[in-house]
Structure 1
Amino acid sequence: MNASSLESEVRSYSRNWPVVFDRARGSRLHDRDGRAHLDFFAGAGALNYGHNHPVLKRALLDYLERDGVTHSLDMLTAAKEDFLTEFGARVLAPRRLDYRVQFPGPTGTNSVEAALKLARKVTGRQTVVAFTGAFHGMSLGSLAVTGNASKRAGAGVPLGHTWRLPYDGFAGGQVSGLKLLDSMLADRSSGLDLPAAVIVETVQGEGGVNPAGPAWLADLAELCDRRGILLVVDDVQMGCGRTGPFFSFEVAGITPDIVCLSKSLSGYGLPMALTLFRTELDVWQPGEHNGTFRGNNPAFVTAAAALREFWADSALEKQTEVRGALFDERLGELAERYAAHVSAHRGRGLAWGLAFRDAPVARRVADAAFARGLLVETSGSEDEVVKLLPPLTAGDDELAEGLDLLGEAVAATVGG
Structure 2
Amino acid sequence: MTSKDAGSATTEWRRHWPLVAASALGMSLAALLSSVFGVMLEPLQQEFGWTRAQISSGPAIVSVMGLFLATPAGYLIDRFGTRPCGIVVVLTSCAAIASMGAIGSLWHWWAAWALFGIAGAFTSTVWLAPVSTIFQNGRGLAIAVTVSGTGISTALAPGIAEYFVQNQGWRSGFLALAALWCVPILPLILAFVPRRARLEARDSEQAARNVAPALTGLTPRQGFASPTLYLLFFASLLSAMTGVALVLNLVPVLTDSGLSRANAIAIIGSMGVASIIGRICGGILIDRFDARRIGIAAALVSLGLPLALLLFPGNPSAALFGVIAFGATGGVKMNAIVYLVSARLGTRSFGLFYSMISITMSIAQGIGPLLANHVYDLTGSYRLVIWSLVPGFAGAALLLVALGSGRAAPSGDVVPSN
Fold-level match, TM-score > 0.5? no
* Larger RCO (CA within 8 A; separation ≥ 6): 2
Where is the helix percentage greater, Structure 1 or Structure 2?
2
TM-score by length of 1: 0.27
TM-score by length of 2: 0.27
Where is the strand percentage greater, Structure 1 or Structure 2?
1
